[in-house]
Amino acid sequence: MEKSIESVQSEGRSFAADPAFAARARVRSLAEYEALYARASQNPDEFWAERAGELAWERPWDAVCEGDFPPGPRWFVGGRLNATVSCLDRHLSTWRRNKAALIWEGEPGDARTLTYHELHREVCRAANALAALGVKTGDRVGIYLPMVPELAIAVLACARLGATHSVVFGGFSADALRDRMNDAGAVCVITADGGYRRGKVVPLKQAVDEALREKGGSPTVKKVLVVRRTGEAVAMSEGRDLWWHDLVARQSSSFAPVAVDSEHPLFILYTSGTTGKPKGVVHSTGGYLTHVAYSTQLVFDLRDEDTFFCTADIGWVTGHSYVIYGPLANGATTVMYEGAPDTPEPDRLWRIIDRLGVTVFYTAPTAIRAFMRWGDQWPARCSLASLRLLGTVGEPINPEAWMWYRRTIGKEHCPIVDTWWQTETGGILIAPLPGATPQKPGSCTRPLPGIHPEVVRRDGTPCVANEGGYLVVKRPWPSLLRTVWGDPARFEKSYFGEIKGVYFTGDGARCDGDGYFWVMGRVDDVINVAGHRLGTAEVESALVAHPWVAEAAVVGRPDELKGQALVAFVTLRGGRTPADGDAVMLAAHVVKEIGAIARPDEIRFSDALPKTRSGKIMRRLLKEIAACGHAEGDITTLEDLNVLAKLSMSSDEE
């Protein structure tokens, strides 16, 4: 790959860790981080054994790590554990017994707090209920719930029983649910009569009924357990459907945890589908929990006084790892919010932060860009004084949004951890340690101790500093996915087929002279203009840096002369309508920021961009629209079909 064009706007800006923060942090200086990193590299088995040793094991492992990529390795071989013992039971014999484990707020304003003791009892009851329904260790259980406490309880109840959970985001359709239940072979689905979203009721039970009734249904699903959330009338099928409040409430509040093999599949989770058909990512128990517990502790510098608020839905991996497993394994207080961030008004999250005294806040760039669009008056109404650390995940964050986040939410003193990871990696792999690593806006900075990423060329040779290439991980770590459920061939081909001997992430990146990683977007999305490689993230950042632009997505369109022409889809701020000359002006702005090579050949204005339900821009659909006027690829995880229809229409008119 040729040298990538560096994004001018963020180069050179670096924020040292806040001294007051560093003084109390787990890792207090770059030198300390580097020493830890070196130790983990020199003696990985010892390092990972120490990390795993922080969990509760029923039987210790015989070997830390056996085998290599692919399809292995296996971790903590021969060890047996139950994930809920580390997340719940072991806290009960400490002062944390009556500490808030979960603080929940519903969209209508109702609230519920569960202490470790209470959460443990609820999880045991739910595990007994599942057992009463015939669910056994090794079975798969589908979970299709709104963000209510029962969602966390259901996940942990499955884990207690050794049943593999597969959570399907509550915003998905009946068809998407059916596909996933059938792919996983779920024996039971846990759902609710509905959930609240922007004041409306999302009829989840109705979708389950449709999934089980139409298009062949889900023959493996025998039971449906229904949480009453909204009180809306729902159809209950005799013999198949049961109410949670009937069944769970009358169960015993103790349930002996089923110790499973370290490699036992804790869960299956389908990826968000930005690059194609979602993959059923399978995670192990011992390895997964080891890495999420460790990364939560290190990256969020978690301490007992913290109130940790990760805004991700548990339907995504971020919710699994950093709403449930990571915080609970650390005995932390985790916050769960049911609804939309702008209900009743766009200050909802800031009010939650003030009300609960949230100290660590973790969200996604797409949300941050929405906050910016809604205006500074909303956070300005709140104090936000309890915050000490901010985080982001999901997409490259453009430096503009990073700076806004730091200034407006972090009041210039909260470090920002830009965390790079994937559903497949189970937990965070590249991120600053907030008390140690100076942050550069737009860079996820450096790898966690024990993690060995590299940017390489197609032939696997390492790139030089700032040369754009493929982001890979050279050495195994415990929480890598074990397989793609039911499709081991896709597992090997997707992650190990392209470049031999390493884990291939599918992302394009560069590494600067300080060893900082800059994720440039998906490899498939990298654009080649007249022999120059351009990362979508770089051109988009330049566009978003313009005060009028709220969001931008850049794709390549086949071009005879240049190889690829650059097409930018742009959403303007504050509902501004595009005027003549805006496109020319914005193109000139990109040239000024990056150079003539990055001048968009076409700029299209749109009210909204097509996104996945997790809020990521689906560039592959835009690429199809730019090339042939409409999108043909998999759209099952698209958030809003209307956006696509509008974009296709506007290109038909040309």
> By the criterion CB under 6 A, which residues form the site for ligand ATP?
271-275, 278, 393-396, 418-423, 444, 505-507, 519, 522, 616
Q: Do 373 and 548 form a contact (C-beta atoms < 8 A)?
A: no
> Measuring CA to CA, which residue among 92, 60, 98 is closest to residue 76?
60
The C-alpha atoms of residue 612 and residue 630 are separated, in whole angstroms, by: 17
Which residue lies nearer to ligand ATP by CB, 164 or 392?
392
> How many residues are given for the chain?
654
Dihedral of the alpha carbons of 231, 236, 241, 243, in degrees to the nearest 10: 30
* Token output for 359: 């100290």
Which amino acid appears at position 592 of this protein?
K
Shortest Å distance, C-beta 4 to ligand ATP? 15
- Identify each DSSP E strand in 145-303 by its residue range: 164-167, 186-192, 195-197, 200-202, 223-227, 241-243, 260-261, 265-270, 280-284
Whether the CA torsion 616, 618, 619, 620 is positive or negative: it is positive
Which residue lies nearer to ligand ATP by CB, 388 or 611?
611
* Token output for 141: 């259980």
Q: Do 115 and 193 form a contact (C-beta atoms < 8 A)?
A: no
The C-alpha atoms of residue 14 and residue 190 are separated, in whole angstroms, by: 47
Q: Three-class SS string for 283-328?
A: EECHHHHHHHHHHHHHHCCCCCCCEEEECCCCCCHHHHHHHHHHHH
Which residue lies nearer to ligand ATP by CB, 346 or 508?
508
Shortest Å distance, C-beta 444 to ligand ATP? 5
DSSP 3-state of 131: helix
The C-alpha atoms of residue 554 and residue 600 are separated, in whole angstroms, by: 8
> Measuring CA to CA, which residue among 216, 276, 290 is closest to residue 61?
290
Which amino acid appears at position 609 of this protein?
L
Shortest Å distance, C-beta 543 to ligand ATP? 17
Shortest Å distance, C-beta 299 to ligand ATP? 11
Q: Which contiguous run of DSSP H or E holds residue 628? A: helix 619-628
Shortest Å distance, C-beta 428 to ligand ATP? 9
Shortest Å distance, C-beta 469 to ligand ATP? 15
Shortest Å distance, C-beta 642 to ligand ATP? 21
Q: Do 391 and 312 form a contact (C-beta atoms < 8 A)?
A: no
Shortest Å distance, C-beta 472 to ligand ATP? 12
Which residue lies nearer to ligand ATP by CB, 429 or 598?
429
Which residue lies nearer to ligand ATP by CB, 4 or 275?
275
* Token output for 219: 């023959």
8-state DSSP, 619: H
The C-alpha atoms of residue 389 and residue 433 are separated, in whole angstroms, by: 11
Which residue lies nearer to ligand ATP by CB, 520 or 587?
520
> What's the chain's Rg over C-alpha atoms?
24
Which residue lies nearer to ligand ATP by CB, 307 or 419?
419
Shortest Å distance, C-beta 491 to ligand ATP? 13
> Measuring CA to CA, which residue among 566, 551, 650 is closest to residue 608?
551
Shortest Å distance, C-beta 132 to ligand ATP? 34
Q: Do 535 and 521 form a contact (C-beta atoms < 8 A)?
A: yes
Which residue lies nearer to ligand ATP by CB, 278 or 449?
278
Which residue lies nearer to ligand ATP by CB, 4 or 115?
4
Shortest Å distance, C-beta 518 to ligand ATP? 9
The C-alpha atoms of residue 630 and residue 638 are separated, in whole angstroms, by: 14
Which residue lies nearer to ligand ATP by CB, 61 or 322?
322
* Token output for 169: 């985001």
Shortest Å distance, C-beta 45 to ligand ATP? 28
Which residue lies nearer to ligand ATP by CB, 126 or 282?
282
Which residue lies nearer to ligand ATP by CB, 29 or 173?
173
The C-alpha atoms of residue 626 and residue 555 are separated, in whole angstroms, by: 8
> Measuring CA to CA, which residue among 17, 20, 21, 43 is closest to residue 449?
43
Shortest Å distance, C-beta 430 to ligand ATP? 8
Which residue lies nearer to ligand ATP by CB, 523 or 586?
523
Q: Count of CB atoms within 10 A of residue 72's CB?
A: 14
